[in-house]
Chain A
């Protein structure tokens, strides 16, 4: 876990382990599970879709002459005339959710930095749990089915759910320093996948009692999580009198060592530009403005890069089971199980790539190499033979090279960007920056869901993969300026070491 080169250069700074208190573990677990629970309730919705559309439609019989009796039992529900239209509506709800989630991310980051992160996270979890309860359970108990009401609730749910990610990343960024961040965040970003598994498990356990209980259980557990977060989460080390990260880990050795070398570098220029923009932020931690946050170096480029990458990543989440059952004729349940391997690859990829980037102390080169390999694996996956083990293997490899960088940008890199040198004076930029990066990414993902269905309908699956390859290449294009800069920095450092050592 410790970074050898780092240790040699800054022994006083210590490794990750020596700083790891029980507070760190508690924060890791609490943020991990609060985001898992948020994701679990999203997964529940996609897992009960069949039951919901059944509830919303009359019985579908091929022979219209013989109507099932009694009428109340079989045909009294007429929200949609048939299952196809109900499915279409459920897809629309997904899109509505993604868009309102994306918009919400921009807002919640800003709110999170201005209010207490713990309150915002706890409020987001509890209120979104209530909305899910009304959406899935209350409407069913009251037999009140209304399309517009459902749409409104899902818009509100998207906005409330969006408070989760910026807050948990900001809190994690407060506790875990840049040195081990890549590895810790790589491990930590398994929370979304764990949430998916948890949601699928909870839903399948209680679905026999009716879909409303799947919502009831996940919403109640999420609400309980919000309460525990409220009572137990420490948002920053300074709350218990531990030293803040910025003071001892991030600022000192690394930046000091680089300072003389990059004095002519563009980073310095931007620093000056920035201090002109915000001259009075040095004394008191004050939240950063939205546009200031956008102007931080790297934020805009990483946001655009993430928009392209999250598009590909989310398309895999949403379309992979459908692609497998559609293209290879595998059973839906089997395809669902098989698609877990993409998640597994993503978690391993995020962790290993995070670890490598910690050792290099640079993230862009790792991303770039991984994405180049991703293009290759996408090409390979599109030509996967009709064999489950081989398909699962290539799927895991694709997950490793696409899910890994995606996890890294949304967590570790967002935290880097929000706690970089330039915002040290006002440390409350973390949630805002995370919100911007993930928000842009979610817009990309939402647009992508539409584009993928369009391309698949008109041109076929092969063109969907070409589209993914195009998007992955665009991601590389967007991070290339950062890549050039970081490689230049790496070379500087090496030259310095060779001269001194």
Chain B
């Protein structure tokens, strides 16, 4: 097993709580395995976090290794004294489909980033992450020239270069044919130099 996944999976002692949404998710799908607080994928992507249960961990803020769980589909953060989660904490969490939080907290990225926003007892569950790039509503995102919108976690989008464009601000298109250019230039220069030398300077006296 990859060692660094343990960081976020062991930031809270104990295993995934039975009965939590992560445990339920893991149980019904074949090929998944529980380790620490995580539900991990087996072959062909061993060690990839698909579920993370940090419920009842007395967390006041998210663990340091939290960004490692960006592949997670299900996350449980209930029963924690969490006060506020910065919106950028979930940057890159594009696969996230269900997150449970203490009731006092809003869904990450706002409720309009989710299809369903339900409360049950002390917890809030946000389900079905929306792709803001496809929404034609108020938050239709405009990316600069040569780039296109791409989801980047709940309520977050990024602009990535489209097609052949690359480089800073997607200003460049294609790759310069360096070899071809220098090949042609070298050949032309050699020919013209020889031609000019032969017709002009060959008979020149040193001045």
Whether A and B are associated in the same complex: the answer reads yes
Residue A360 lies at the interface, judged by CB distance under 8 Å to chain B: no
Candidates A74, A208, A227, A241; contact of B205 at CB < 8 Å:
A241
Q: Are A69 and B156 in contact (CB under 8 A)?
A: yes
Contacts A51-B171, A224-B188 given: A231-B207 contact, CB under 8 Å?
no
In B170-202, the 8 Å CB interface with A consists of 170-176, 181-182, 185, 188-189, 192-197, 199-201
Q: How far is the CB of A160 from chain B (nearest CB, A)?
A: 20
Q: Are B168 and A73 in contact (CB under 8 A)?
A: yes
Q: Are B172 and A231 in contact (CB under 8 A)?
A: no
Q: How far is the CB of B75 from chain A (nearest CB, A)?
A: 21
Residue A148 lies at the interface, judged by CB distance under 8 Å to chain B: no
> Which residue of chain B lies nearest to A29 when distances are taken between CB atoms in the complex?
B196
Which range holds the interface residue count of chain B? 35 or more
Residue from A206, A210, A234 with most neighbouring chain B CB atoms (10 Å): A210
Q: Are A209 and B175 in contact (CB under 8 A)?
A: yes
Candidates B161, B167, B168, B196; contact of A231 at CB < 8 Å:
B196
> Which residue of chain A lies nearest to B192 when distances are taken between CB atoms in the complex?
A228
Q: Contacts of B205 on A, CB cut-off 8 Å?
A: 238-241
Q: Are A68 and B181 in contact (CB under 8 A)?
A: no
Q: Contacts of A23 on B, CB cut-off 8 Å?
A: 200
Which range holds the interface residue count of chain A? 35 or more
A214 to B201, CA, bound (A): 32
Q: How far is the CB of B108 from chain A (nearest CB, A)?
A: 15
Contacts A68-B144, A239-B207 given: A234-B200 contact, CB under 8 Å?
yes
> Which residue of chain A lies nearest to B203 when distances are taken between CB atoms in the complex?
A240
Candidates B143, B172, B181, B182; contact of A210 at CB < 8 Å:
B172
Q: How far is the CB of A384 from chain B (nearest CB, A)?
A: 35
Q: How far is the CB of A427 from chain B (nearest CB, A)?
A: 12
Q: Are B189 and A228 in contact (CB under 8 A)?
A: yes
Q: Contacts of B159 on A, CB cut-off 8 Å?
A: 68-69, 73-74
Contacts A68-B159, A77-B168, A206-B176 given: A217-B204 contact, CB under 8 Å?
no
In A40-89, the 8 Å CB interface with B consists of 51, 54-55, 59, 68-70, 73-74, 76-77
Contacts A238-B207, A240-B203 given: A231-B173 contact, CB under 8 Å?
no
Q: Are B161 and A73 in contact (CB under 8 A)?
A: yes
Q: Are B201 and A232 in contact (CB under 8 A)?
A: yes
A238 to B205, CA, bound (A): 8
Contacts A209-B175, A220-B182 given: A228-B196 contact, CB under 8 Å?
yes
Q: How far is the CB of A268 from chain B (nearest CB, A)?
A: 33
In B86-141, the 8 Å CB interface with A consists of 91
Q: How far is the CB of B156 from chain A (nearest CB, A)?
A: 7
Residue A361 lies at the interface, judged by CB distance under 8 Å to chain B: no
Q: Are B193 and A228 in contact (CB under 8 A)?
A: yes
Candidates A54, A227, A241; contact of B193 at CB < 8 Å:
A227
> Which residue of chain B lies nearest to A50 when distances are taken between CB atoms in the complex?
B171
A93 to B154, CA, bound (A): 46
Q: Are B173 and A208 in contact (CB under 8 A)?
A: yes
In A228-255, the 8 Å CB interface with B consists of 228, 230-236, 238-241
Q: Are B204 and A239 in contact (CB under 8 A)?
A: yes
Candidates A54, A68, A69, A224; contact of B185 at CB < 8 Å:
A224
Closest 5 A/B residue pairs (Cβ): A232-B196, A69-B158, A209-B176, A224-B189, A231-B193
A-B contact pairs, 10 of them (CB 8 A): A26-B199, A68-B143, A209-B172, A209-B174, A210-B172, A216-B176, A224-B188, A231-B196, A238-B205, A239-B205
